Amino acid sequence: MKKIFIILALLAATNVVNAETVDFSATTPYLTDDGNIVVFDGVRVDGFGFSLKEDALKLKFKFDLNSTSFKLDTADITAYKGIGVYSDQCMVNDAPVTSITTNDEGQEIESRQPSYTTNAETSYKKDGEIFTIAAGDLIESGGSSYRFNTSKNEPFVAEFNLQPNQVMSWYLNNKSQGLIYQLTGPESDVPGEVVANGINGEGPLMIGPIRVVKAGVYKLKIETDPQQRSTSFLFKSFNSNENVLKTIVNNTRLNEFLEGGSLDCSKFKVSLNRDEILTFPAPKSDDLVIKLVNDQSQVIAQATGSELVYKETERNSDYYIFIYSKSYKRATYSNKVKIVLEKPEEANTKK
């Protein structure tokens, strides 16, 4: 069934956008909750003003009763111009710098974590002293989590002014049951589009990852189950695309730290010549993913908790490597990357 959807989408999309190439290989089709719409998010297009490497489309196919088939909704095509290469929560393009501070050594530290405001007060302890953050004050996303309250009569609302190439995730942890959440996107002529919603029981919940492709104010509302009066919860927001793109060569030593309570991702660029073999040693954690992606967002190789080895056989190419955890636990990756040229006698010996 999935292949049928892809064929239908490919034919319809090519006719609509008049593009020379329409590439669905980097997308994962999914059905909406009502089962009447098939969504292809991340379709790569070449032609008609679009670039395979930089732009992407979100296409929706609605079920038509008359023809008993899915047809492209030409009035609801979303273009992600300049979004670049990405896969899941990992994006090659760096997120915008949101602030610059100076440390004790006089070095400038760039932050790519957006700030947000809430309609509720919170507090935190530092060096034995308690500090209060009033409702409406700016709070920076990142490593810190805060405790908030939400009640039946006053839901918790957090507002984020987000920019493209930020990849947001939200971590909630509560001891009582029944937190209901809804994330809406920027408003235009109609109320904000619902980006995500759901309900969780007791314990931790991760919302996201949400790739931001449209700038504007995003609102996250959290309320209790109607049967409860109020509850408290730990809240943490995080831009998973906080790390900058690095270039690796042979013998590059990686020492990557992935933030806990987030969907953090480290990313790298590597250039391979024909017959060169790229080797990423296995991580210590069995839930760490190492993913090799080409410049059209196609996954070329992937390993989870194990070594990744890839040989370039076709041409000299640029690739991107993403490292992230399948869970939202704190993790590290510390290893030396190898890029070696396979000699002809080695290739003959292996035959």
161 shares a domain with 283: no
Write out pLDDT tens, residues 269-310.
999 999 999 999 999 988 899 999 998 888 999 999 999 999
Does 92 map to a domain? no
The continuous run of DSSP H or E covering 38 comes out as: strand 37-46
**pLDDT for 9:** 45
- pLDDT grade for 70, boundaries at 50, 70 and 90: confident
CA atoms within 13 A on the CB side of 243: 25
**pLDDT for 14:** 44
Distances 285 to 137, 330, 338 between C-alpha atoms, Å: 38, 10, 20
Q: Which of 50, 82, 114 marks a domain boundary?
A: 82
233 shares a domain with 117: yes
- pLDDT grade for 1, boundaries at 50, 70 and 90: very low
Asked whether the predicted pLDDT for residue 94 surpasses 80, the reply is yes
104 shares a domain with 37: no
**pLDDT for 11:** 43
Does 190 map to a domain? yes
Are 89 and 42 in contact, with CB atoms under 8 Å apart?
no
**pLDDT for 153:** 83
Fill in the DSSP letter of residue 152: S
Q: Which residue has the higher pLDDT, 121 or 13?
A: 121
Asked whether the predicted pLDDT for residue 336 surpasses 70, the reply is yes
284 shares a domain with 210: no
161 shares a domain with 78: no
Domain count, the chain: 3
Does 319 map to a domain? yes
268 shares a domain with 219: no
**pLDDT for 78:** 82
Which of 134-148, 202-216, 293-307 is the least confident region?
A: 202-216
Q: Which residue has the higher pLDDT, 144 or 33?
A: 144
Residue in the block written with tokens 């987030």:
262
Q: How far apart are CA 202 and CA 30, in angstroms?
A: 28
Torsion of CA 8, 12, 17, 20, to 10 degrees: 60
Q: Which of 239, 262, 290 marks a domain boundary?
A: 239
- pLDDT grade for 333, boundaries at 50, 70 and 90: very high
| Mean confidence (pLDDT) of the chain | 84
Asked whether the predicted pLDDT for residue 325 surpasses 70, the reply is yes
77 shares a domain with 17: yes
250 shares a domain with 235: no
235 shares a domain with 216: yes
Does 87 map to a domain? no
Mean pLDDT in residue range 95-105: 89
Mean pLDDT in residue range 174-193: 74
Q: Which residue has the higher pLDDT, 72 or 98?
A: 98
112 shares a domain with 230: yes
Q: How many helices (H) and strands (E) does the chain have?
A: 2, 32
Write out pLDDT tens, residues 239-271.
999 999 999 999 999 999 998 888 899 999 999
Indicate which CATH number applies to the domain containing 195: 2.60.120.680
Does 305 map to a domain? yes
**pLDDT for 18:** 55
Q: How far apart are CA 207 and CA 351, in angstroms?
A: 49
Indicate which CATH number applies to the domain containing 265: 2.60.120.380
Q: Which domain holds residue 27?
A: 2-82
41 shares a domain with 163: no
CB atoms within 10 A of CB 339: 18
| Angle, CA of 194, 198 and 200, to the nearest 5° | 155
AA letter at 212? V
Q: Which of 184, 210, 239 marks a domain boundary?
A: 239
| Angle, CA of 62, 48 and 84, to the nearest 5° | 80
Q: How far apart are CA 180 and CA 201, in angstroms?
A: 9
Does 164 map to a domain? yes
Are 140 and 99 in contact, with CB atoms under 8 Å apart?
yes
65 shares a domain with 46: yes
Does 207 map to a domain? yes
Q: How far apart are CA 53 and CA 318, in angstroms?
A: 12
Question: 0.85 cut: is pTM over it?
Answer: no
Does 33 map to a domain? yes
